[in-house]
Structure 1
């Protein structure tokens, strides 16, 4: 099957996995259970928790994530940009499945 035969929209991550980050413009998404999501770039990490609280960290000045700057008004535009990447709809997670004996 060649790339023209595929019917799934998206961007190939192969160049990124091979170390070519020059043109990668998307944040890396992370999810932990339902409603807890984060977006990570080389410089920033934005986190939105299921309860609605938010965190934003600037790795250039805070590599250990000690200073949450999400509530500072000067970062609202940056946060709104990351919110566009967050999932709008979620499914419930699959419960733990038991193995057949």
Structure 2
């Protein structure tokens, strides 16, 4: 998709490891798929900040923030805030997933 290629060129990404890069790639694809191309042209992706949701070094998801239009990279403080949120969200997401699996197992005939 053409919008995805333009978005890839426009993003600014501070210190990203491979897990984050994969998550960011998925965010860009999601945004490009769900927003009209005209919207992406009017409000291009300028920065993406993504962090993994980790529980004991196991990835259970990802959190990301996308900046449109403003051509400014995310700061270390932005990264710290998103990471702090991800650190608190990850155990709850993992617990929900485990409880949901447990309920599914107990309700199976």
Note whether the superposition's TM-score is higher than 0.5: no
Larger Rg: 1
Which TM bucket (shorter chain)? under 0.3
Greater RCO, CA 8 A, separation 6+: 2
What TM-score results when the alignment is normalised by the length of structure 2? 0.25
**Higher-helix-fraction structure:** 2
